[in-house]
Structure formats: C-alpha cells, structure tokens
Structure 1
Amino acid sequence: MITDSHATSPLTAAVTNNAAWCDAVCRSHGVGGTTEGGVWASAQRTPPLYPDAVTLSPTATPDDVLPRIDLSSPGASVKDSFGTLDLSAAGFEVLFEARWIHRPATEPAPPRAGGWEPVVGAGRLLAWEAAWSGDGESEGLFRPALLDDGAVFLAPASTGSVTAGTDPVTADTHPVPAGAIAYPSAGVIGVSNLFAAGDDLDAAWRSCLGATDRLWPGVPVVGYEHGDDLAAALRHGFEPVGPLRVWLRTDG
C-alpha cells in the first residue's frame, strides 16, 4: 500500500498519487501490492489496464522490478514513472510514452460551468464506466469500494430519477456524456480517465477543473497524458513535469 504523504516536487507528487490510485484499484479487486526499493509491485496479475509495478524512484532498476511481478505468462506491465528503465531484454515492449502534468494551485479556476458532480451509488458508477469504455459496456473494473476509498468519479449532474423499490445496483444507469476520475493523495488531486462525447476535451477539462476547484479548493491537480489529450491539458493550465513510459511483456 502506498503511504499518503505530501510530496516535495510536482513530479514526485504526480508519481506518488498515481501509484496510490493504482494500489487502490488493485485492492478493490482483492489484489495486494507492496512498496520496496523504490517500486510498488504486485506479485499477482493486476486488473486490466493497471500495471503490475510502478517505479517510485528514478534510480529503480529492472532487478528491483522484475523479481516481484508475475512473469509466468505474457501480459505483465510496468509503469516506468521516470522513463529510465530498459526492460526489452526481459521480453517487454514499450506500449506508450506520456508526460506527467501538474496544474499549480495558483492557476486561476476555470468558469464554474458544466455542473459536474461526484457519482453516487453503484448503479451510476456502472453507467459511468459504460460511457468511459466507449462501447457502452461495464466490465466492473471500477468497483463501488473505490467510492469509499477516496475516489471521486465526476460526471454531469444526473437528471434521471429512481423509482421506489428499484434495485440500487442497476438504478440510474442513463447515459453519462462526460466524466473523469479524481483521486486525492500525496497533497494533490490526481485526475485520470477524462472523456467526453464528441471528444470535446476542452469542455471536459473546464468542467472537471471547475469541480476539483470546488471540491478541493487550493489543491494542485496532477495526472499524465499524451498526444491530443496532452495538448488539451496544457491549454488548461497544466505544465509537463517529466516523462513516463509503460512497458508490456509480449514475450514468454
């Protein structure tokens, strides 16, 4: 488990926050991780899209990572948080590269438009995941336990109604047009999984940052992005603070 502490630099804060979020998702699936030698790692294969290991120090080496994850079959992944590892000799390939981003607390808050609010209840969480997935389906990646673990799933305020006696798990599953995840840890708010119908990322960032400023006033926001998503974030007050690389094991 990642200890929550106030990190000393924007890069350290972003890395620590993201590792804590990965740990929270894994724990919600009953998968435990431990921190040792500048690496968070799980000996058990983690949920889809989440890494088996995350480096927490730029001095971490392959020997600090590989013995602590499951290499018995392809599919293991490592978040190389500082872009310093070479895991190619162990059968890994670079899945993608990105940039950590940081938005200072001194950055002016965007106009409070869009009406994004925290998702409440298992049914609305199912609808959120179905919209984020892009195919209208929810596989249960984001489990209700995360709502009790500090995670805030943001979306436009619900306009649906729930009839008395309706199953609370399947209730309120009308479509979610946009959203993001906000996770407070390490003295910052980590934003991830931002999406919007029609790919209107600028509108999504305005609404997301308006919500984070309202819920956690005066707290910096961090995350990581690449490509068009990175460009959109930079237009809304974020600054790139360091590289990262995600490795996927395709051999073995």
Structure 2
Amino acid sequence: MSKVAPLLRLAIEDNIGWCSAVCTAHGSRETTSRDAWVNRGASPPFYPNIISRQIGVQDEIETLIGEVAIANQSKRWGIKDSFCELNLSDLGFERIQSGSWYGGTLAANAEPTDWNIIRSPEHLRSWEKAWGGGEDRIFTENLLLDHRISFWFKGGDDAIEAGFISFDSGPSLGISNWFSQDDRSLVQTGALQAANSVSRRRPIVCWSADDALRETGLSDLGPLQVWISPTA
C-alpha cells in the first residue's frame, strides 16, 4: 500500500475523530481498523458510516459495505472515500460530492474580538438553525461537554451571522461546517483566523469542495469523494 503523507494523515484522522464524536452522540456502533473507520449503527444526516484510512482497500470496503447495509436497510448512508480511489458504482452507490483535503500551519494573528463560542443548549439550537439544520437535531447538547469541540459564532445570540466548528484532535485542529448568512467565505468572515488563534501553532486541517480554500494559505493535500448508498 502507498504511504499516506503525514499532513494528509492528520486531516483524515481529525475528520474521523469529529465524525465519531457526532455519531457517538447519536448512539453509534463504531470500530476502527487499519483500513477504515466504520459505524454499523445509523449515522445522523450528512455524516458517513464509513471513512477509508488507507489507499488500496477496495476489497475491505466492500466487505464493510455488506455489514453496514444490514443495519441500515431502511435508509441511505454514506462513505467518505478519503483518497478518491474507490469504485462503488457497480454496487449501486452514487458519487454525490468531491473535494479536497486542506491543511497547514498559518502565521500567528491577533485574538479575534468578534467571534464567540456557544455555551448553552438553547444557543446551540439557534446555531444549528442558522447553519441550516432541520427539525431533526444533528448537534446534540452533550457535544458541548466535549472539550475537543467548539461551536463558534459571530453576531448576536438571536442573530447569528456566521459560524463554524473546530475539533481539537491533539496533533491538529480541524474546522468544519462553516457558514455565513451573506455567503461570505471562510476567510472573509475571519473564521480561519479565529481558529488559528487557538491552534497553538499546530496544523489546521479540513476538507472542502470550494477551490477558493487554496487561497487561504492552506495546502491542497489531495482529493476525496463522497458516495451514497442505493435507495432503500
């Protein structure tokens, strides 16, 4: 198997840690092997059941697909193909998204004065609605007790203008789920700078389908794609 570059490995493992935290909050049944992270239970919307961890694991992923499908017969579920190399079309899967991993260490910046962190369950619900969440909760209040996770926001409690999530895996700081009400970019809202202020000079990592991230100072680490299972 090909060796995975260290920064790409950090990005993938940070993302697995974040997905695991969200799925655990919903009662997951997870295992992690050399080849993949897998949740054999039901993952919440927008979160995968399988994330590949190595290159060249087509056969192993196909085995896991059979196991996950048994526990998810009534719903569609996803696979994050971390290296954009799996061929799942013959199994009825549809490729619904492609993007790139990004990562890097950014220059130190001043403490942001217009970004804050969610502290209460009620405010977390407001954050999720501003992000675009529906009636079914994805980000449950017990995530507020996880010291690795911060829900950031800009604006007033009743008028959240922008937000993102940071996940501290230890070796790196992952960012995800960024949004702004006026469609400004990650950099334009100052979200990346806010994350960098707490990174302690560790790499910031993420994945995105937005090519503009190449202009942030983060390096493009390689492609990924997301597959979704056939209709139940």
TM-score by length of 1: 0.81
Instruction: Give the equivalent residue in structure 2 for 1:44.
Output: 41
- Look up the match of 1:153: 151
2:42–2:49: 8 Å Cα contact kept in structure 1? yes
SS, match of residue 203 in structure 1: helix
**Alignment partner of 2:211 out of 230, 245, 249:** 230
Report the alpha carbon displacement of residue 139 of structure 1 after superposing the two structures with TM: 3.1
CA distance in 2, matches of 1:219, 1:116: 20
Separation in structure 2 between the aligned mates of residue 64 and residue 102 of structure 1, nearest angstrom: 31
- CA RMSD after TM alignment: 2.1
Say which is worse superposed, 113-122 or 179-188, in terms of deviation.
113-122
1:16 to 13, 24, 37: 13
3-state secondary structure, aligned to 2:29: coil
CA drift at 1:186 = 5.0
Is it true that 1:97 corresponds to 2:98 in the alignment?
A: yes
| CA positional deviation for 1:138 | 5.1
Matched position secondary structure for 1:17: helix
| Conserved 8 A contact 1:110-1:209 | no
* Partner Cα distance (2:87, 2:31) in 1: 22
Deviations 1:97-118 (A, max 9, x none): 11000022xx223554452121
Contact persistence 2:27–2:41 (CA under 8 A): no
**Inter-partner Cα distance in structure 2 for 1:70 and 1:114:** 47
Asked if the contact 2:108–2:201 (Cα under 8 Å) also holds between the matched residues in 1, the reply is: no
Q: CA deviation at 1:151?
A: 0.9
Tell me what 2:57 maps to.
60
Identity of aligned residues (%): 28
Task: After TM superposition, give the deviation of residue 213 of structure 1 in Å.
Answer: 2.5
Query: Which runs of at least 4 in structure 1 moved beyond 6 Å after TM superposition?
Result: none
Following the alignment from structure 1 to structure 2, what is the Cα–Cα distance between the partners of residues 188 and 225? 17
Q: Which runs of 5+ in 1 are unaligned?
A: 1-6, 161-173
Displacement of 1:251 in angstroms is 4.4
Aligned pairs, number: 223
User: For the Cα contact (< 8 Å) 1:91–1:249, is it kept in 2?
Assistant: yes
User: What TM-score do the two structures reach when normalised by structure 2?
Assistant: 0.88
On the 8 A contact 2:94/2:227 being kept in 1, the answer is yes
> What is the Cα deviation at residue 235 of structure 1?
1.9
Q: Which amino acid aligns with 1:90?
A: L
Contact preservation (8 Å) 1:96, 1:247: yes
- Compute the displacement of 1:92 (Å): 0.1
